[in-house]
Amino acid sequence: MAFLSARRRMLLAVLAILAGLLASVWLAGRYAERRHWSETAVEARGQLELYAQSLRILVERFRALPAILALDSEIQALLRDAADPLARERLSRRLQRLNREAGAGVIFVLDLQGKAIAASNWQEPGNFVGGNYAFRPYFQGALREGSARYFSVGVTTGVPGYFLSRVVRDADGRILGVLALKLVMEDLQRDWARQTGILLVTDQHAVAILASRPAWRFRTLQGLSPELRARLVDTRRYGDRQLQPLAVRPLRQLDGDAELLGIDGPDGRRDYLRLRQPLADEGWTLQLLREARVPGGAVRGYGLAAAGIWLALAFLFLFLGQRQKNRRLLLRRRAELEQLVEERTAALRQAQDELVQAAKMAALGQMSAALAHEINQPLTAMRMQLGSLQLLLAKNDPAAMRSCLERIDGLLTRMAALTGHLKTFARDTPGGLRERLQPDTVVDHALLLLEARIRQDAVQVLRRRAPQAWVEGNAIRLEQVLVNLLHNALDAMAGKALRELRIELWRDAGDWLLSVADSGGGIAAEHLSRVFEPFFTTKPVGEGLGLGLAVSYGIVRESGGQLEVRNAGDGAQFVIRLPAALPPDTLQPSPQEP
Ligand code: ADP
């Protein structure tokens, strides 16, 4: 179950990473595209600005010319009286010269009926002279408002041009006619053709009146209503051009006024980036179309970079998550372990307490046995003495009676010593109690407790005393240890021919060593390392608990010492090492002997 959900989680993580990967690649691609478009747009805007400037300069250069020429007296004179063909030819000739200097298209003069009476192109085929232009808005506009501008295709020549016109008045302000100037912008268009992109100048009807590619000329970028179309035909504004519409489909608005368009144009169906700039004076709009090719390399590059970053982040995230999880797991394990240790420690402590209790009981049993034996003997002896005392009383033998009483007194003293010792043994002894004590005294007490058995088994006790020895420890508990060691030694020697108990005390640097050695044959090699283990015993059931040495070991360790065992001579040797203490009179020098 847990396994399954872990797998499912992994699957989810992989899916999330993949989804993130796709999303980041897609977003990066979009970003790369956006960047590309905005860079292209900035560049195109600069280009457009330049074009607009050149167009403005061109128009500006000729804007003032009609007004200046309208003041010309020769022109005014001819308009007042146009009958003389020679005068007309003279003026045409002059306009021709002027036009050559100025570099405009055509300069011509119209009378009040709209008839051209002189023109700079008078010598060319299809010249304006004699033509009637009364229907042209630039003529009507000039009469109405004083001046006019108008783009249209020439009626006579079929060449498109920008017409600038000005009314001509005499000194009294009477209208004599109109002076007009036609700007031909073919050169400009030829210049544009060399640049990148398609440049269009559209008029207020969205008709491309100028285009850097000839095929785009006179295409409309938006539909024309039938009425408008009819009016445009009437004024012959675009001559007999067809005004084919371009199918324009907006795709996306980009930053600023840049936009992406799909145009079904003369070059086929293509996507273009379009930028526009209005030419307010003329009411035209300059439009730059740049073919919109998605920059595959940049998109791929950005996509790869985004994928790299995304994967790096995802793996970092996973790594951190895993680490966090591991740490949590580790903490939980540690907590569990700590709890386990605590539980085990508590259990061990309890077991130890129970052991100590059992050992106490065992020691108590041994001691009761020893005491019963020890007290029984003097009691029997005393009863016998009392019997003899009664006999002696009858015989009235005071001397023998005294010696009998003395023996009874001796037996009583011995019993008092035993019970007195028992009292100290029963004293409550807290575990950690440390006192200064003399090992010799403790040995005396232990031997006293076991005296009966020693005598019974005819064991020879050899002692090396050291009355100057003082150690740190707890006398009662040390005695308990010694009783146990002596007991074991006596048990081991029972039935042996040689029964020799050697109790020695000597100094080793900062410690005193107390050794109990017997001639009981020693401990088997495989048992040597185990004798201090609780419940290790080789004695028959009912005789040994196997706790004595374990408890002894614990007691000696507790009082800062060590208990060791080895085989030496004919038997086992137990050595108790205890830290030496200063004798009691060292700190306060004893008063001078008298
Ligand atoms: P118990 O005396 O109840 O068996 P102890 O812990 O006092 O428990 O002793 C454990 C064992 O160590 C004994 O059963 C015995 O085999 C061995 N042992 C102890 N002292 C001697 C000794 N002096 N000589 C030989 N074996 C000994």
Burial of 413 (0-12, 13-18, 19+ CB in 10 A): exposed
DSSP H or E segment with residue 503: strand 500-508
CATH number 3.30.565.10 is the correct assignment for the domain at 429-584: yes
- Which atom of ligand 1 lies closest to the CA of 488? 20
DSSP-assigned letter for residue 594: -
Instruction: Starting at the earlier edge strand, list the strands of the sheet with 106-111.
Output: 116-119, 106-111, 175-183, 160-169, 147-153
The mean predicted confidence, pLDDT, of the chain is 86
517: Cβ below 6 Å to ligand 1?
no
Structural domain spans, the chain: 62-291, 429-584
- Which atom of ligand 1 lies closest to the CA of 547? 6
- 426-482 pLDDT per residue, tens: 554 554 567 889 999 999 989 988 888 899 999 999 999 999 999 988 888 898 899
Position 270 scores a pLDDT of 86
- Which atom of ligand 1 lies closest to the CA of 536? 10
Whether 366 shows a pLDDT value over 80: the answer reads: no
544: Cβ below 6 Å to ligand 1?
yes
**Closest-CA residue to 532 (of 504, 559, 568, 556):** 556
212: Cβ below 6 Å to ligand 1?
no
Please give the angle made by the CA atoms of 146, 148 and 150, to the nearest 5 degrees.
Answer: 165
Percent over 90 (pLDDT), the chain: 32
Å from CA of 483 to ligand 1 middle: 13
In 3-state terms, what secondary structure has residue 116? strand
> Which of 502, 518, 531, 551 most suits a substitution to test ligand 1, by most atoms within 8 Å of the C-beta?
531
> Which of 537, 556, 567 most suits a substitution to test ligand 1, by most atoms within 8 Å of the C-beta?
537
523: Cβ below 6 Å to ligand 1?
yes
Å from CA of 531 to ligand 1 middle: 6
DSSP-assigned letter for residue 429: -
Nearest-CA residue for ligand 1 atom 7 is: 548
Is the CB of residue 182 less than 8 Å from the CB of residue 149?
Answer: no
Confidence of residue 367 (pLDDT cuts 50, 70, 90): low
Position 356 scores a pLDDT of 74
132: Cβ below 6 Å to ligand 1?
no
Q: How far apart are CA 126 and CA 180, in angstroms?
A: 17
Is the CB of residue 440 less than 8 Å from the CB of residue 505?
Answer: yes
Å from CA of 538 to ligand 1 middle: 7
Position 57 scores a pLDDT of 85
Which long-range contacts link 316-322 to residues 24+ away (Cβ below 8 Å)? Answer: 318/13
Å from CA of 500 to ligand 1 middle: 17
- 253-269 pLDDT per residue, tens: 887 788 888 888 888 88
Nearest-CA residue for ligand 1 atom 11 is: 537
- For residue 334, CA distances in Å to 70, 320, 322, 331 come to 107, 21, 18, 5
Nearest-CA residue for ligand 1 atom 10 is: 537
CATH number 3.30.450.20 is the correct assignment for the domain at 62-291: yes
Q: Which residue has the higher pLDDT, 330 or 420?
A: 330
538: Cβ below 6 Å to ligand 1?
yes
In 3-state terms, what secondary structure has residue 266? coil
Strands 500-508 and 460-464, bridge-based pairing: parallel
377: Cβ below 6 Å to ligand 1?
no
Burial of 176 (0-12, 13-18, 19+ CB in 10 A): buried
266: Cβ below 6 Å to ligand 1?
no
Least reliable range by pLDDT among 68-77, 93-102, 364-373, 537-546:
364-373
Burial of 302 (0-12, 13-18, 19+ CB in 10 A): buried
Mean pLDDT of 15-43: 89
The DSSP bridge partners found for residue 467 are none
114: Cβ below 6 Å to ligand 1?
no
Instruction: Starting at the earlier edge strand, list the strands of the sheet with 247-253.
Output: 208-211, 198-202, 284-291, 268-279, 259-265, 247-253
Least reliable range by pLDDT among 74-88, 96-110, 165-179, 415-429:
415-429
Å from CA of 344 to ligand 1 middle: 28
Whether 593 shows a pLDDT value over 80: the answer reads: no
- 516-563 pLDDT per residue, tens: 999 999 999 999 999 998 778 898 866 776 778 888 898 898 888 999
275: Cβ below 6 Å to ligand 1?
no
Confidence of residue 374 (pLDDT cuts 50, 70, 90): low
Å from CA of 488 to ligand 1 middle: 5
